[in-house]
Structure 1
Amino acid sequence: MGVLKSGFLFLVFTVSLYPVLVLLLTNPWLQRHALYAHKIHSGFWHDVNKPESFGFAAHQVTPFNVSTPDNEVLYAWHILPLATVARNRDTLAAADPLDQTLPLQLLKSDPEARVVINFHGNAGHVAQGWRTDTYRALSNQPHTHIFTVDYRGFGRSTGSPTEGGLITDGRALVNYVLSLGIPPSRIVILGQSLGTAVASAVGLSFADPTSELLPQPIVGAIAEKAVFRSIILVAPFSSLPDLLLSYRIGGLIPVLAPLRSSRFLVSMISKYILDTWPSGLRLNAYVSAAASVGSKNNGAGNVHILHARDDQDIAFAQTEKLFATATGREVEVLPLGTRDAAAKGKVGVRVEMLQYGMHNRVVTYAPVGLAVMRAFEGI
């Protein structure tokens, strides 16, 4: 009886605590710390300025800073292709490991150079968790350079994260790569989890900077529209309010799921969500806007979405909703494997449901590498 009583009291305590938790999350400061989790990272004992400690070859990674139009300073990495490191090992060894000059020369002097711009998920920093495995796997592809950045407030970057701020950060990194003379047709935008929302927004901001679905005005907007080789989204979500109805912290603790049966409560709580990240609507606008711009870039602009069915953080149903919204279809159950969709006047959208990979590790799996390779090779 004592065990039953203790269990009952624990249940009562948990249920009574839930409304308090929801109420606390309406506070803007708490809400953004919970959403972005940018203060949770291993930077206290991992030195991101020592990339070799994360398994990279000597001189393969160069840390550098990117300045944003609103005066934040972002910490970033440039990862060289492994084959480039092998061919230039002695020259790289003689250079200052924190000097970008030689790595950028190797990028700009290679007529076959390709760039993957990576946007990581929430929490952590550029080198946390499975992220370095992703970079190492992609750097094994010929001529493929990887650029990745910590958003404002993450890792060593200054500032505090907001939806508009992260979009500005993503654009700052893309503009940096473009300023090196790399054309959009040789750039793939890759995002995972929260990074898929950043990638979708950044892609739209270049295809249609005046879109009503973006924070306006776009800070640091370019004069000419651009579409990149491809946008690859791994473990995405359709919008933050929709995600929160099914999201469980750590796969266990529900956020808004207990309120799903009450439209009134869902509507009321949703009004307090500051950063909504409507990726589905943004992708729909992107594929429409990219068609005319893409015709100037040899048919670039396709979208490739990948999601693992065993993802316990973001349910694969989010990709089904995202795919439906992006293509203007009804939501449907998507089978394992690959499915393509392309409508007249729109660029292609490909969705790939994977059996395994979970939420974070999936971005290191071969299907993601194949998606990058396919984008660049046009196969």
Structure 2
Amino acid sequence: MGVLKSGFLFLVFTVCLYPVFVALLTVPWLQRHALYAHKIHSGFWHDVNKPESFGFAAHQVTPFNVSTPDHEVLYAWHILPLATVAANRDALATSDAFDQSLPLQLLKSDEQARVVVNFHGNAGHVAQGWRTDTYRALSNQPHTHVFTVDYRGFGRSTGAPDEAGLITDGRALVNYVLSLGIPPSRIVILGQSLGTAVATAVGLSFSDPTSGLLPQSLAYGKVNMDKAVFRSIILVAPFASLPDLLLSYRIGGLIPVLAPLRNSAFLVSLVTKYILDTWPSGLRLNAYVSAASTLSSTSNNGAGNVHILHARDDQDISFVQSEKLFAMATGKDVEELPLGAREVVGEGKVGVRVEMLEFGMHNRVVTYAPVGLAVMRAFEGV
């Protein structure tokens, strides 16, 4: 009886607390802290200015800052290809750890250089969790440089996160790489989890800067607004939109957010209207494919393809979200996609490829070989 009574009291306690939990999430400040979790990081005991402590070779990583058009200062990393480090070990050893000049010279002087611009998920900083494993795996590929950044409010970056701000930050990092003389055809945009929403929006902002699907408050700054399509956009564990995701999302794979409400259209509509940052990636990806198809058809460079990867055992974001994203991007009906890859190529020759993986969970999957292969395929024009 004692066990039954305790279970009953726990159930009553949970039922009473859930409405309070949902109500608190409608408060803008709390909502954005819950969504971005930018204050949850290991920067208090991990020094991101010591990349070697995360398993990198000496002088392989150069920390630097990127300024945004709305005057935030973002903390970023430039990770050199391991082969480049080996070939220039002596010169790198005599340079200052924070001096970008030599690493950038090595990038600019390599005619085969490739760049992966990486956008990480929520919480943490550039070096947290499995992120450094991702950078090391990619930098093992020939001539492949990796650039990554902490969004505003994350890690050592200034400001506070919101949708327009994170897209502005993504554009700022990409514009920095472009300013080095690296053409879009040698740049792959890679995003994981929340980073997929940033990557999709950034891709659309370059292929169609005036799209109505982008935030009106997006800060472009005084930059060249010429349209551009990058080598590829790779999305790992993405979602179709934030309101849709929250209907199935469980914090830590356990605590449901809006799942208890999903059988009531009225309650779902009531609560979702308070969601400030909706991240409509499905609509944006559809618009991107259309814009990129036009630009790629005109330039005939075969760029712009999209590669979506998702693990079936992802307990944070269900693989169903990738099925929805694929359907929205290609204009197809939502259907269960088998393990392996499926590809749809539009009339403008921009392909959308989805690859369902059996294993990888939510965060570790980005370190798995299929993601590295997706990057290789992109640069090889496959």
Q: Normalised by the size of structure 1, how large is the TM-score?
A: 0.99
Distance 1:76 1:223 in 2: 24
Q: CA deviation at 1:260?
A: 0.5
Whole-Å Cα distance in 2 between the matches of residues 278 and 292 of structure 1? 22
Indicate if the aligned counterparts of 1:74 and 1:152 stay in contact, CA closer than 8 A: yes
SS in structure 1 at match of 2:121? coil
Equivalent residue for 1:149? 149
Q: Is the 8 A contact 2:302 2:381 kept in 1?
A: no
The match for 1:117 is: 117
Q: RMSD value over aligned CA atoms?
A: 0.8
Could you list the runs of 5+ residues in structure 2 that have no partner in the other structure?
A: none
Partner residue, 2:93: 93
Q: Distance in 1 between matches of 2:68 and 2:54?
A: 27
Find the counterpart in structure 2 of residue 374 from structure 1. 377
Cα distance in structure 1, aligned partners of 2:286 and 2:294: 14
Q: 2:288 corresponds to which residue? A: 286
The question of whether the paired residues in 2 share the 8 Å contact of 1:281 and 1:326 is answered with: yes
Instruction: Name the SS of the counterpart of 1:272 in structure 2.
Output: coil
Tell me the distance in 2 between the aligned counterparts of 1:93 and 1:345. 48
Distance 1:297 1:153, change over 3 A: farther
What's the secondary structure of 2:145's corresponding residue?
strand
Q: Is the 8 A contact 1:59 1:97 kept in 2?
A: yes
Q: Are residues 1:75 and 2:75 paired? A: yes
Instruction: Give the 3 Å change call, closer, same or farther, for CA 255–346 of structure 1 in structure 2.
Output: farther
- Native 8 Å contact 1:287 1:346 kept in 2: no
**Partner Cα separation in structure 1 for residue 293 and residue 340 of structure 2:** 26
Q: Which residue type is aligned with residue 117 of structure 2?
A: I
Identity %: 85
> Offset at 1:223?
2.3
Cα distance in 1 between the residues matched to 2:217 and 2:45: 39
Question: What does residue 276 of structure 1 align with?
Answer: 278
Give the Å deviation of 1:222. 3.0
Classify the secondary structure of the residue corresponding to 2:173: helix
Which residue matches 2:258? 256
How far apart are the structure 2 equivalents of 1:149 and 1:297? 31
> Given residue 352 of structure 2, which amino acid in structure 1 is its aligned partner?
V
Match in the other structure for 1:126: 126
Deviation at 1:345, TM superposition (A): 3.2
1:231 aligned onto 2:215 = no
Q: Report matched runs for 1:179-194 at 5 Å.
A: 179-194=179-194
Task: Map 1:16-35; keep pairs closer than 5 Å.
Answer: 16-35=16-35
Equivalent residues of 1:210, 1:216 under 8 A apart: no
Task: Name the CA distance, whole Å, in 2 between partners of 1:315 and 1:257.
Answer: 13
> 3-state SS of the aligned residue for 1:169?
helix
**Separation of aligned partners in 1, 2:348 and 2:88:** 45
**Structure 1 residue identity aligned to 2:287:** A
Kept in 1: contact 2:117–2:146 (CA 8 A): yes
SS, match of residue 77 in structure 1? strand
Equivalent pair of 1:227/1:297 in contact (CA under 8 Å): no
| Residue number in structure 1 paired with 2:325 | 322
Match of 1:15 in 2: 15
Tell me, yes or no, if the aligned pair for 1:150 and 1:156 is still in contact at 8 Å: yes
Q: Which amino acid aligns with 1:222?
A: N
**Cα distance between partner residues in 2 of 1:297 and 1:87:** 35
| Number of residue-to-residue matches in the alignment | 379
Aligned equivalents of 2:224 and 2:146: distance in 1? 23
Q: Equivalents in 1 of 2:63, 2:306: separation in Å?
A: 29
AA aligned to 1:143 is H
- CA apart distance, 1:247: 0.2
Structure 2 residue 196 is the aligned partner of structure 1 residue 196: yes
Alpha-carbon distance, 1:346 to partner? 5.5
SS of residue in 2 equivalent to 1:224: coil
Q: Which residue of 2 aligns with 1:222?
A: 224
Give the distance between the partners of 2:64 and 2:55, measured in 1 at CA. Answer: 19
Q: Which has the larger displacement, 342-351 or 271-280? A: 342-351
C-alpha contact (below 8 Å) 2:164/2:217 kept by paired residues: no
Contiguous gaps of at least 5 residues in structure 1: none
Paired position in structure 2 for 1:247? 249
Shift of 1:172: 0.1
Pairwise CA distance, 1:216: 2.2
CA contact (8 A) 2:343 2:352 kept: yes
What amino acid does structure 2 have at the position aligned with 1:82? Answer: L
Question: What code does the residue aligned with 2:338 have?
Answer: P
Aligned equivalent of 1:353, options 342, 351, 356: 356
Q: Secondary structure, in 3 states, of the residue corresponding to 1:265?
A: helix
CA distance in 2, matches of 1:38, 1:294: 36
Contact residue 125 and residue 154 of structure 2 kept, 8 A: yes
Matches within 5 A, 1:150-169: 150-169=150-169
Amino acid in structure 2 at the alignment position of 1:304: H
Check the 8 A contact 2:165/2:218 in 1, yes or no.
no
> Deviations 1:225-282 (Å, cap 9, x if unpaired)?
0000000000000000000000000001000000001000000101000000000000
- Supply the distance in 1 between the matched residues of 2:19 and 2:247 (Cα, whole angstroms): 15
Give the Cα–Cα distance (whole angstroms) in 2 for the partners of residues 128 and 223 of structure 1. Answer: 34
Pair 284,225 (structure 1): closer, same or farther in 2 beyond 3 Å: same
